[in-house]
Amino acid sequence: MKKRFILALAIAVCVSLLAGCGGGQSADNDASGGKQEKITLTLWNNWSGQDAKAVAMRKILDDFKAQHPEIDLQVEALATDGLKTRLRTAAAANEMPDLFVMWPGAMTKEFVNGDLLQPIDDFLNSKPEWKNNFIPNALDDFTVDGKTYSVPMNLAPSSLIYYNQAIFDQYGVKVPKTWDELLQAIDTFKRNNVIPIALGNKANWVVQSTTFSTIADRVTGTEWFLKAVAQDGAKFTDPEFIKALTYMQELGKAGAYQDGYNSIDENQMIQLYTQGKAAMFIDGGWAVASLVNTASADLLRNTHITILPPIEGGKGEPQTTAGVVGTGLGVNKKLTGAKKEAALELFYALAGPDGQRATLDSSTLVSYKIDVDKTKAHPLFVELTELMKNVKIVPVYDSKLSSAAVEVINNGLQDLLMGGKPEDIAKRVQDAQAGAVGK
Amino acid sequence: MNASRVRRFIAAALLPSVILYALFVFVPVIWSAYYSFFNWSGIGEAKYIGFQNYAELIRDSVFWHSLKNNVIFVLASILGQVPIALVLAILLHKSNALQRFMRASIFMPMVLSSVVIGMIWQYIYHPQIGILNFLLDALGLGSWKMQWLSDPDISIYALLPPLIWNFVGLYLIIFISALQNIPSEIHDAAKIDGVSGARKLFTITLPMIWGTIQVAIILCISGSLKSFDLVYVMTKGGPAHATELLATYMYNSTFSTYRYGYGSAISTAIVLISLLFIGTSQWLTRRKAD
C-alpha cells in the first residue's frame, strides 16, 4: 500500500512539474532579428471587461490589426489587479512587453528607476497639436527628471458621491453641503432602514481611494500631504493626519456603511445601489461606465453625482476630489528601429486624438481638451463632465505613497473602521513611508 | 538481471524526476533564501542587508498573527479532516450503489477549483444575500446571525468549514484504499476469534492503517501551511490582516508592497516552520505507533 502511494505521489509530482514547464516562454522576442518581414509587437492591457471603455479600446486594436497586416500584434488583456502584479513580476525578470498599460506616479517612477522605459519626448514634440491639447499638468505624473514617458489615456477622479435623488426626496434629505449635513443624512437613512452609503471594501483599496484620500486632503491640504510623502517637514503622526483619520472613523461610527462591507467587492457595492437598497455610494469616475450598463433607466434618471462636502476648519480646498490622471502606455526601453516605430504608431492610435475621442465616447473622462458629444453621451456622463469642469483633482493616496505604505494604510483603514485607534494607524503609516523613503 | 543492474535501472529511471524536482523545487527554495538577505523592490539594484529582514520578521506582529492563523488551519485539518474522513471511510469503504454515490459526492469539492469553492462559500456567508444568515433567520435563530467574513474576531473560523469541506474527500479516498488493502485473512481470523465492533476497529483496523493516517497527517500539515487560494479568494487576508496566513502575507509582501527580499524571508520562514511541524508530527505519531 505504501509503495503504491509513493508511486502515485511520484507521478503526481512529475505531472505537476511538467504542467509547470508547459507555461514557459514560447514566444521568442526576436527584436534584433530584422530578417523577418513581420514585426511582432506585444501589448499588455487591462481592457478585459465588458465596460464601454474596454470595448472601445479593443475595437481600436482590431482596426489597427486590420490596417497593419505586417505587424503581428499580440495582445494580453488582464484584470486590473492582475496586470499590476504581472507587470511587477515581468519587471523583476526584465521581460517587459513592448507596450503596456502603466499607472502614473509611483509606478512610472519605479519603472524609470529600474531602467525599463524609454522617453517619448521626441515623438510628442513631433506632434505639438497633440501634446499641447492635454489639460494642465496632465503629463506631470508621467514625467521623471524632465523626461516624459507617457500620456494619460483617461482621467480618473476617484472620489465622487453617486446618489439616488428619489430616496433623498422620499425622506426629505438634502444633498449634503457640510460634514454635519452628511452625518444627519446618514442618520436619517439609517433610521429608515436604507443603507446610507454602500461600500465594498474587500479589495482594501476602495475606502482609501474613494473616500479617505479626499477627506484627508480636505483636512490636511495637499501641500502637507506631499511633504509627508517626501518625509520632508511633515509626518503622518502629525495632528492633522490623525484628525483626518478621526473624521473617517466618524463615518464608520455613524453607521454610514452596510453590514459586512469588508467582505463584498466594488461590483457588489454598485449592485446594492442599483438595487435601490442604498441611497449613495462613493466611487471613482470610472463607475459611470458600469453604472450606465447595469442600472435601470429609472434609477439612472434619479442618479446624480456630487463631491464630498467641505470639512470645516480644514486646510484643503473644498472644490476638489482625489484622483489621478489616468493610465498611460509604457514603451519598453529595448525597442529600436522598425519595431519602435510600429509601437509608437500603435501608441498614437490608442492615446492620440482618435483614441481620446473613442475613450470619451465610451463614458470615460479624458485628460484631453475635447468636448463630450451631448447628443450621444449618456446624461449621467454629461453631468459628470460638467461637474469636473469646476472640480480640481488632488492626489489620491495610493498614487503618491510608496507601495509598502499603501498596503499599510489600506489595511489600517479597515482596522480604523472596525474601531482601531487613529494614533496607532498613523504611526504604522509613518513607519512604512519613512522606511520606504529611507529616512 | 542481477541486483546491482536493477538498482542502476531504478536510479536511471528516477533521474529525470529528481533533476526536475531539484531544478523547480529545491533550487528556487535556495534562491529565495538567498534573496531574503537583500532589500529589493523587484526592480533595480538589490541591496545586501544581512539578517535585517529576519530581524524585522521576528518583530512583525502581522507575521506572528499569520502563523497563529496557520496553526489554527493545521489543527482544524488534523482534528477536522482526518477524523471525519476516517469515520466516513469506515462507513463507506464497501461498494454498493449508495456508498459509491456518497463517496463521489464527498469527493466532489476536491475536483472543483479552490476559486469556485471560495466563491460558493462567499455567497453562503454573504452579508446581504447569504443563505446561512437567511437559514438562521428562518429557524428563528436570528441572534446567531453574524458578519461571517467581515468580523475580524470570527472570520478566521468562518474559513474552516470550507477548508475541511474542500479536502475531506481526498483523505476519504486515501483511507478507503488503505482499508481495502487490509488482507481479508485478518478479517476472517478476527471473525473466528470473535472480535468485532469497536474492539476490532481499535485493535485491528486502526493499527493496520496507522501508516496511512501518519501520511494523511503530514499531508494535512503541509497542505494547511501552504493554504493560500481559498483565503485569497474569500478574504484576501483581510479585514485588516485578520485572516492573513503565512502564504497570503508572503504574497502580499512580495507582490502588493513589492518587498521581494522581505517576502523571500517569509517564504524561508515558511519552509523552516513546515519542516519543524512535520518533524514534530512524525516524531509524535511514531511514538504512538510503538
Q: Does A259 sit within 8 Å of B127, measured CB to CB?
A: yes
Instruction: Please tell me the distance in Å from A351's CA to the nearest CA on chain B.
Output: 26
d(CA A372, CA A246): 39
The residue behind cell 430616496 is A167
Instruction: Please tell me the distance in Å from B219's CA to the nearest CA on chain A.
Output: 11
The pLDDT score that the predictor gives to residue A24 is: 39
The mean of the pLDDT values for chain A is 87
What are the backbone dihedrals phi and psi of residue B45, each rounded to the nearest 5 degrees, phi first? -65, 140
Q: Give residues 101 to 140 of B whose Cβ lies within 8 Å of A.
A: 122, 125-128
Query: Residue A116 above 70 pLDDT?
Result: yes
Cα dihedral sign, A397-A398-A399-A402: positive
At A36-50, the pLDDT tens digits run: 578 899 999 999 887
What mean pLDDT is predicted for residues A329-349? 92
- CATH architecture label of B59-289: Orthogonal Bundle (1.10)
Q: Does A414 sit within 8 Å of B239, measured CB to CB?
A: yes
Residue type, B18: V
Residues of A whose CB is below 8 A from B257: 403-404, 406-407
Q: Which of A13, A85, A110 sits opposite B41 (nearest CB)?
A: A110
At A134-179, the pLDDT tens digits run: 988 889 889 999 999 999 998 989 999 999 999 999 999 999 999 9
Q: Give residues 259 to 318 of A whose Cβ lies within 8 Å of B.
A: 259-264, 272, 277
The pLDDT score that the predictor gives to residue A65 is: 93
The more confident residue out of B44 and A332 is A332
Query: Residue B50 above 90 pLDDT?
Result: no
**How many CB atoms are located within 10 Å of the residue A162 CB?**
24
What mean pLDDT is predicted for residues A413-439? 90
What mean pLDDT is predicted for residues B47-65? 90
d(CA A249, CA A254): 8
Q: Does B127 sit within 8 Å of A264, measured CB to CB?
A: yes
Q: Are A359 and A154 a contacting pair, CB within 8 Å? A: yes
With cut-offs at 50, 70 and 90, classify the pLDDT of residue B239.
Answer: confident
- Is any Cβ of chain A less than 8 angstroms from the Cβ of B64? no
DSSP string, A165-222: HHHHHHTTPPPP-SHHHHHHHHHHHHHTT-EEEE---SSTHHHIIIIIHHHHHHHH-H
Q: Which of A92, A113, A263 sits opposite B150 (nearest CB)?
A: A263
Residues of B whose CB is below 8 A from A203: 236
Q: Domain ranges in chain A?
A: 38-154+326-361, 157-323+386-437
The x, y and z cell numbers of residue A99, run together, are 507596450
Say which residues have a Cβ less than 8 Å from residue A217's Cβ, sequence separation at least 6: A225, A316, A320, A322, A394, A395
The residues with which A391 forms a beta bridge, in sequence order, are none
With cut-offs at 50, 70 and 90, classify the pLDDT of residue A12.
Answer: low
Q: Is B159 helix (H, G, I), strand (E, B) or coil?
A: coil
Supply the ipTM of this predicted assembly.
Answer: 0.77
What mean pLDDT is predicted for residues A353-361? 91
CA distances from B270 to A120, B70, B265, B274 (A): 44, 10, 9, 6
Domains A38-154+326-361 and A157-323+386-437 share a fold: yes
Q: Give the burial class of B145: count Cβ atoms within 10 A of its Cβ; 0-12 exposed, 13-18 middle, 19 or more buried.
A: middle
d(CA B234, CA B122): 6
Q: Domain ranges in chain B?
A: 59-289
The pLDDT score that the predictor gives to residue B205 is: 86
The pLDDT score that the predictor gives to residue A21 is: 44
Query: Residue A25 above 90 pLDDT?
Result: no
Q: Tally the residues of chain B.
A: 290
Query: Residue B99 above 50 pLDDT?
Result: yes
- Is any Cβ of chain B less than 8 angstroms from the Cβ of A414? yes
Q: Are A78 and A89 a contacting pair, CB within 8 Å? A: no
Query: Residue A64 above 70 pLDDT?
Result: yes
CA dihedral A28, A32, A37, A38 (to 10 degrees): 40
Query: Residue A256 above 80 pLDDT?
Result: yes
The pLDDT score that the predictor gives to residue A19 is: 46
The x, y and z cell numbers of residue A230, run together, are 517626501
DSSP state of A121: H
Q: Are A291 and A300 a contacting pair, CB within 8 Å? A: yes
Dmax of chain A from CA atoms? 77
The x, y and z cell numbers of residue A139, run together, are 503629463
> Which chain B residue's Cα is nearest to A261?
B150
With cut-offs at 50, 70 and 90, classify the pLDDT of residue B13.
Answer: very high
With cut-offs at 50, 70 and 90, classify the pLDDT of residue A9.
Answer: low
- Is any Cβ of chain A less than 8 angstroms from the Cβ of B44? yes
Q: Are A268 and A25 a contacting pair, CB within 8 Å? A: no
The pLDDT score that the predictor gives to residue B279 is: 87
Cα dihedral sign, B173-B174-B175-B179: positive
Instruction: Please tell me the distance in Å from B54's CA to the nearest CA on chain A.
Output: 16
d(CA B10, CA B60): 47
The pLDDT score that the predictor gives to residue B103 is: 87
Which numeric CATH code is attached to A157-323+386-437? 3.40.190.10
With cut-offs at 50, 70 and 90, classify the pLDDT of residue B20.
Answer: very high
**How many CB atoms are located within 10 Å of the residue A64 CB?**
19
The pLDDT score that the predictor gives to residue A320 is: 92
Comparing CA positions, the residue from B56, B58, B35, B30 lying closest to residue B47 is B35
**Superfamily grouping for domain A38-154+326-361:** Periplasmic binding protein-like II (3.40.190.10)
Which residue of A85, A87, A263, A273 is the best one to mutate when testing the B interface, meaning the one whose CB has the most B CBs within 10 A?
A263
